[in-house]
Structure 1
């Protein structure tokens, strides 16, 4: 009950702050006060508007906001989001562009389960829709999943990826962003051993902690400093009575958000202070740069306790992927068994979450691949978000990823014998 009470207390705190913002906005916007030229009312109204929106977004799943797409024919085509595979903890969805011929490139974008919704990759999806069939892993908020659905840890996550890859077939090109990079690598290796005909055509890993010890960051240092017992005591709570997942042990999204913000507290504080000033001066808008970013950044979801704890224990502390001794469903996965899937890594030179060196370590683990099927790239000036969104992604990284996909298209086909020369090397 202690954990459940703490969970409800956090939600009450969030709700109270949203109410305070709404009350300040309503009070300062009362028509009578317009007769009094007092800037205090403008400041109160601006503070209330920003505060209400900030705390309101924390519990709302953002919309993808991709409703139409302009194709080469110059016409706007509707974009329909179709569910290809539906599972309790996450779905495989397809962005189907109505009236457009099916594109030759089939891309599975593996979204991270690290506090934010898959909509964090909205701009990535939009950039790939130009000439790809885009599929995305749409993970569910753990607080909305009944306890009766069972557990969900890193092994279950990996098996979900295996099922999604099998559903899309061997012509799919997997692009894993951040947290799922090591698990996407493990899922590919698992298929290489269990069902080789279902392996993807290519695997691109973007800014993921394949070997967290390769380069230290605040994230890896934190994982080293605390024990699993301390993590469980500090971070894990039970979902309260307001949600379908009542009683489920989770790492709450609000607690995750507090951790995110604390890593760059001064920058976030300045961003909100500046936004209040812009609102007070009438220079802000509903879809300005601040709101576009923070509407997404503040929208957080709970993750299951077992997923969070097993990620820290097995990926960061135990280095099971980095040392090639990861076990899935009782089967020890051998990453060296990947012989037919071209692998590319992408890192950001200024990534302070998954520093350069952590992701490229995947290539050393792929001992069964020849160098001709391996590639790596570092975007010198990109931070963590820049390697999958923004200018660096659009102008530099995306073209390289698509060139890599095209260069290795059709390399793996069902029934094709394994690459014996590569395996021998």
Structure 2
């Protein structure tokens, strides 16, 4: 019922939103003399703020059209490298001719699979992360699909499906890739690599990196961790799960709605968000275009959210935050016990933020305790001073202090000859598929 009320509220506000949009255009026009007066600016700012607070924010675009290598522009195109109903693997393919100009010869870089969090926001939240790696890596990222857009006939998506997806993506990329799990994906990615290691899967990655991940939330518990522990499983099932309305492709699917997640995000820092919008209103009146643009860019991303399937959300609450199944050695994947101690050939790096209020210090480092049979010379840990959760994977300190360490870590386990042979093999296989088609 709540989901339907949310949709009804959006529909009811539509005429007011349209009126606000019209007022915004009218009092923002250079042809309108009133636009230059204080009352005119006040009306314009009020209309803008109302429209921005009540409109629906769709999925953002990455918008990464080029990168620079050795000072030369290199065009970027997005390609779908792998796809299933609930996820697409996006490859930011660098133009080969531009690469030749930049290097003067054939060149191979490490492949990097960034597993974006499935916790409310779209993968585009990691746009800056992707951008930082593009000059020196072949970058792929998981683009999770909004559950309300997936028809019921496509089946369910739970934590086991998530693990299967990660395994399939790594198999599609081939051996020797680097996988980087940011926040939520930590446990399922570690589970996937544990299963692959026990099976001695030839597609094992060269490295795995966990950043601000809830591997063991018993360590330095934060406010979200306390919430998950103090409320019983039944509370989450009865209070945050709703049915997708009939006007979406995923009609009748049971989900944890994005708008509820967004409410939780905002509630955690209500004062900051209120102040940010007050500043935005004042900047509109003052005509501070730079500040206005920065606000819009941030909130266009922040307010864009997606729904999670009921089974995935509830299983994550239970297994990761309440039972700590992976940390205590009781996590099962499709009925099979997951054994992180079987990982011996994949190098491990963990990254944490000193001021992280989502995944506290030690929660990500716990991966080292679980993967106890990885040789010490293949294990690395780094705590970034002065950053919170978001700063672990984005922002100035990420670009200048964290990303260079990750780059060096990937390069330490990179075999350029094997990479060249693999690329040649993949190109030949693709050519055969094309000819056969």
- Give secondary structure in 2 for the equivalent of 1:170: coil
Residue among 139, 148, 168 paired with 1:143? 148
Q: TM-score, normalised by structure 1?
A: 0.91
After superposition, what is the alpha-carbon deviation per residue over 1:69-102, rounded to whole angstroms, capped at 9, x for unaligned?
Answer: 233262x332111111110000111100112255
Query: 2:283 touches 2:291 (CA, 8 Å); kept in 1?
Result: no
Matched, 1:26 2:22: yes
Cα deviation, residue 402, structure 1:
1.1
Matched, 1:43 2:39: no
Partner of 2:259: 254
Any residues of structure 2 matched to 1:9-408 within 5 Å, and which? 9-17=5-13, 19-27=15-23, 30=26, 34-35=33-34, 39-56=38-55, 58-72=56-70, 74=72, 76-98=73-95, 99=97, 100=99, 103-284=108-289, 288-408=293-413
Are the structure 2 counterparts of residues 36 and 214 from structure 1 closer, same or farther at C-alpha, using a change threshold of 3 Å? closer
Q: Which runs of 5+ in 2 are unaligned?
A: 100-105, 420-437
**Matches of 1:17 and 1:121 in 2, distance apart?**
31
Partner of 1:420: none
Cα deviation, residue 53, structure 1:
2.9
Q: TM-score, normalised by structure 2?
A: 0.88
**Matches of 1:111 and 1:310 in 2, distance apart?**
18
Cα deviation, residue 50, structure 1:
2.7
Query: 1:54 touches 1:298 (CA, 8 Å); kept in 2?
Result: no
**Matches of 2:66 and 2:4 in 1, distance apart?**
39
After superposition, what is the alpha-carbon deviation per residue over 1:90-118, rounded to whole angstroms, capped at 9, x for unaligned?
Answer: 01111001122553211000000000001
Query: 1:177 touches 1:388 (CA, 8 Å); kept in 2?
Result: yes
- Give secondary structure in 1 for the equivalent of 2:135: coil
- Give secondary structure in 1 for the equivalent of 2:226: helix
Query: 1:144 touches 1:244 (CA, 8 Å); kept in 2?
Result: yes
**Matches of 1:164 and 1:298 in 2, distance apart?**
28
Moved more, 272-281 or 286-295: 286-295
**Matches of 1:153 and 1:113 in 2, distance apart?**
11
Cα deviation, residue 324, structure 1:
2.1
Partner of 2:4: 8
After superposition, what is the alpha-carbon deviation per residue over 1:144-203, rounded to whole angstroms, capped at 9, x for unaligned?
Answer: 000111111111101100100111112100011000011111111010012432211000
**Matches of 1:160 and 1:318 in 2, distance apart?**
23
Query: 2:280 touches 2:291 (CA, 8 Å); kept in 1?
Result: no
After superposition, what is the alpha-carbon deviation per residue over 1:248-292, rounded to whole angstroms, capped at 9, x for unaligned?
Answer: 001111111011000000000100111011112211359722111
Task: Compute the RMSD of aligned alpha carbons.
Answer: 2.2
**Matches of 2:218 and 2:35 in 1, distance apart?**
61
Moved more, 363-372 or 30-39: 30-39
**Matches of 2:70 and 2:54 in 1, distance apart?**
41
**Matches of 1:290 and 1:36 in 2, distance apart?**
22
Are the structure 2 counterparts of residues 111 and 30 from structure 1 closer, same or farther at C-alpha, using a change threshold of 3 Å? closer
**Matches of 1:78 and 1:116 in 2, distance apart?**
27
Query: 1:26 touches 1:45 (CA, 8 Å); kept in 2?
Result: no
Are the structure 2 counterparts of residues 70 and 33 from structure 1 closer, same or farther at C-alpha, using a change threshold of 3 Å? closer
Cα deviation, residue 14, structure 1:
3.6
